[in-house]
């Protein structure tokens, strides 16, 4: 039997594979499409404020630099 879970945001019951895994092998509360939509909306909302947009770009640059440096080291620390 395939495990299923109900997403509280869209109200649909979906297979467990449609939910992101969290720490200790737990499933997230919301399905992947709803999680992505919420993240996209939050990012759009924060991007409306010029100061927040500057902070977001700085965080993105730091994340990208870290990801790039880990890739050059053979992916250690992921």
Q: What is the pLDDT of residue 49?
A: 83
How far is it, in rounded angstroms, from Cα 45 to Cα 55? Answer: 13
DSSP letter at 23 equals: G
Domains of the chain by residue range: 4-72
- In the chain, which residues have pLDDT < 70? 1, 73-78
Q: What is the pLDDT of residue 15?
A: 95
Q: What is the pLDDT of residue 32?
A: 97
pLDDT one-digit tens code per residue, 51-64: 888 888 899 999 99
Q: What is the pLDDT of residue 78?
A: 46
Q: What is the pLDDT of residue 74?
A: 59
């Amino acid at each position: 039997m395939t495990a299923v879970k109900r997403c509280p945001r869209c109200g649909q019951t979906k297979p467990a594979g449609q939910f992101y895994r969290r720490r200790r092998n737990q499933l997230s509360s919301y399905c992947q499409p709803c999680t992505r939509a919420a993240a996209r909306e939050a990012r759009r909302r924060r991007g409306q404020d010029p100061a927040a947009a500057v902070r977001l770009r700085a965080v993105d640059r730091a994340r990208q630099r870290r990801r790039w440096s880990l890739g050059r080291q053979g992916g250690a620390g992921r």
